[in-house]
């Protein structure tokens, strides 16, 4: 899981802790998935204006993969929106979120939850923070 380490020498500068092989694998999967999500958005399978911001790499994937991402994107989006309609003050915790843009898509349509938490490996969290702050 992501962790934030503050040193005495640099109290204002966060550092990332130990990078395990599982964290590195998680990062590789997140980038691969982001490339496929970006390609699906660019080819019109899904509407995700934030996909390109969360993926610097060239889009990748074949049409079968795009259809799979369309199904996942649609199912997750419908589930999140249904939950927020029933629980407008609800909180969402996204485990293993990768470089997903669900929060921004919800926010862009005025459907953001009261709180949205994303949990992933330290490398993925650091990369997502870097991409958001570009």
Q: Are 31 and 55 in contact (CB under 8 A)?
A: yes
Of residues 3 and 36, more confidence is placed in 36
Whether the CA torsion 108, 110, 111, 114 is positive or negative: it is positive
Give this prediction's pTM. Answer: 0.76
Residues 46-96: tens digit of each pLDDT: 999 999 999 988 888 778 888 888 999 999 999 999 999 999 999 999 999
């Amino acid at each position: 899981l992501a962790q934030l380490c503050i040193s005495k020498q640099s109290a204002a500068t966060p550092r990332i802790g130990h990078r395990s092989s599982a964290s590195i694998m998680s990062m590789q999967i997140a980038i691969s998935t982001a490339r496929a999500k970006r390609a699906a958005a660019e080819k019109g399978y899904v509407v995700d204006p934030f996909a390109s911001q969360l993926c610097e790499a060239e889009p990748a994937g074949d049409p079968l993969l795009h259809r799979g991402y369309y199904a996942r994107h649609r199912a997750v989006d419908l589930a999140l929106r249904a939950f927020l309609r029933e629980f407008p003050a609800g909180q969402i915790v996204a485990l293993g979120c990768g470089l997903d843009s669900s929060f921004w898509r919800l926010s862009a349509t005025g459907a953001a939850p009261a709180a949205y938490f994303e949990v992933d490996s330290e490398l993925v969290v650091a990369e997502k923070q870097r991409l958001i702050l570009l």
